[in-house]
A and B are shown apart, each in its own frame.
Chain A
Amino acid sequence: MAWVTWRQHRSQLVATAGLLLALAAAAFGTRLPIHAAFHRDSLSACLPPAARSGCDIIVPHFEAEFAGWVTAARVLAVLPVLAGLFVGAPLLARELEQGTYRFAWTQGVTRRRWLLSKTALLAAAMLLAGAAASAVVMWWRGPFDTLEGRIGPSSFDVEGLVVPAYALYALALGVLAGLVFRRTVAAMTSTLVAFAATRFLVLEFVRPHFLTPLHRVVLATDTGLQPGDWVLSNTLVDGGGRQISAAREDLAVLHATQAGIDPHTYILTLGWKRLISYQPAGRFWTFQLIEAGLFVGLAALIVLVAVWLVRRTPT
């Protein structure tokens, strides 16, 4: 089966390897100036708790200098879904579309074993590719992660264990979609939609609650942000603990302005506070394990459904 799998999917696997090489080359080429700037500005001395003076200027300057590259790196979050679109979706859809499944499924190997073997081999390849891409991104983002932490979505989604897990999940989705829709393009489209929807739902509604968020109450004029933490909510509350709407805040600022008082001082004297819910930076690997486990579990479930369905597909 390994030989058959290689023969049928060698173009995708070669493309994957090529993509990885391109990613590594780009990372190597762009990391040098980032690394140089990080050390030139002694940014490691800006890490809490012993941040030196001037960091409030130096750090934003460093971040602004490479903001374009960091934004571009976020695009890498789409890499895992390529496994579903170009490897998973065609796996069954192309056989069914072209009718070659009749030949494939009437050989000595059972359908179940045929599907499981191919899926497992491709999954191993995608896991490997995902892990490699993740390692490259982590290496490249090192200076930024040092300053900003990595539990926030912009870095969490492209680093660590979740990248290969996403790839595995996308692959499984593609396989199932191919079996259900029997058309490659339809399978690719539905894979893309289902993958994006799952990622969105997990990010917005599940991940923030992997572990109970921590809460911090700070002065109303404090930003309340600590480098590295993932801030889930940042709410202004009055002395009674009720949330203050933007309109109420605007009105208070207007009153302070009319009175010639500094609005920040006025808000402080009113006893307003800022209530911050957050996931601390130290939970990064725990969250990675949980989310990777979740997507691997979903992938396994989808593959089981695909195996169950393929056995019932008439030849």
Chain B
Amino acid sequence: MNEQELRRLIGAVKHGKLSRRGFAQRMLAVGLTAPMATQLLAIAGVAHAQPKSQYKPAKRGGGGLLKVLWWQGPTLLNPHFAVGTKDQDGSRLFYDPLAAWDPDGNLKPKLAASIPGREDGTLAADGKSVVWKLKQNVTWHDGKPFTADDVVFNWEYAKDPATAATTAASYNECVVEKIDQYSVMVKFAKATPFWADAFVGTRGMIIPKHLFADYIGAKSREAPTNLKPVGTGPYMFKDFKPGDMVSGVINPNYYENNKPYFDAIEMKGGGDAVSAARAVLQSGEYDFAWNLQVEDEILARLEKGGKGKVEISPGGNIEHIQLNFTDPWTEVDGERASLKTKHPTLSDPAVRQAISLLVDKDSIEKHIYGRTGPATANFVNNPARFVSKTTKYEFSVDKANEVLEKAGWKKGGDGIREKDGKKLKFVYQTSINQPRQKTQAIIKQAAQKAGIDIELKSVTASVFFSSDVANPDTYTKFYCDIQMYTTTMSQPDPEVFMVQFASYEAATKENKWQGRNITRWQNKEYDDNYKAAQSEVDPVKRAAMFIEANNMVINNYVVIPVVMRPGVAATGTKLNASISGWDNNTWDLSDWYKDA
């Protein structure tokens, strides 16, 4: 899909010929995310959709206790320190961002009075600034009013390197100014098509200035409010035991009428995913359970208990196979898989193509992941009718054989193909995790039929995903031929995500393997395209460039996408909870309610 086509589609949405959802789906099919698609529409002047509220209760409270299960409980409740989503989810009970991402990738106002847009001039045409208008009736849990000063303070707090905030990346590149008591302006040095990052979604929660002002920078750990949050959210802090329990009681002054429905909330931590699923689906002891990365077969069996249902929320996470472009078996200057080497066999595009033909994604989806891992040709799963041109996957041993044969890889006496004395023998590593080992086995079997010998290796997750410089088995070192894991797309914009294929980001000894490009694929064309996309003013052109970038990665077989990993949660049958793959599980907690 090129720029013209994109513009035509945006025009179609503008004239009502194409639905917003239809547009978002087409964007998904070419590797963009739903939030990015809706942002494109906003910049092009198509008004934001007003997500319809499904909220039914006619009065605040009266819903009793809401019991939710996070099998890894939150360990801290300052959103700017959040290490993982569990901490963000926990903080979200008490804190709100200005706006949040709904399941379709639309923005829903929280502390903001409205979503910035071109129509009312709050979104600059050059993409260099955005004005947020704040709700005026919001008070902190301690009764103090919420104002623009709080918003500006959060920017100062997060960008201070001494605070070491995990949200820093969202605030480093912008300048935030107070316009009046209830509006702020976020200014960017360069045109920023993805402007809804600071103060939005997972990293956008706002903490109160009056309680944190004395604890900015190096003293940030000492703030008493780190452990006893005072926010604007639907629930007020009651008790916190790190890793075990977060509890809250209803906020009687919540800024939206008739919300929240529950009188109190308990977020319990600990245990494992299977028993968490059991507590919701089978025994009904709990109303909601988070992140159930459990085999679908087990979930389906537990669901028969009839006490709850499994909720799947698509996001950007993807289980994928990486092919090494450097030689992991030769040491150069004290470093294996050095950029100075070339992989003896995988550097041949025919070999990479053959391997991608040998990944039986449909079987992997059907027999291993089920609903929790739809097969994908791309970085995002796509509706079948859009697959045709750019994104296609195929499983065919015959075709793989044909491709290899044509490229001159002939079967030797042992049934393994070779050329110029180099055999197609690979080591394929991943972390220890049952579905991954099963996937490995399926691929190994298919490869055997095509004359490729694959040796399987599995590494404990805590070693594989560590950044330990001394350990040879980490995924960033990639000291083998093929590896597989899930890469998380924690930001709805692909810029950060796609940097992992830029040549200059290669993970090497020099940067202590912190570079994001793990396959060490070197391609000037990609770099040029990526750099151009970074500084592209026109959001539509930029989107087209990312689509192109995605195609390059797929068509060069740099990585082979296997299955999408959507969010999986369990909810009690009576609970109504909207779960978004683009935001925290608790993004819309104020709207959760139970059917009578």
Q: Do A and B bind each other?
A: no
Chain A contacts to B: CB under 8 angstroms = none
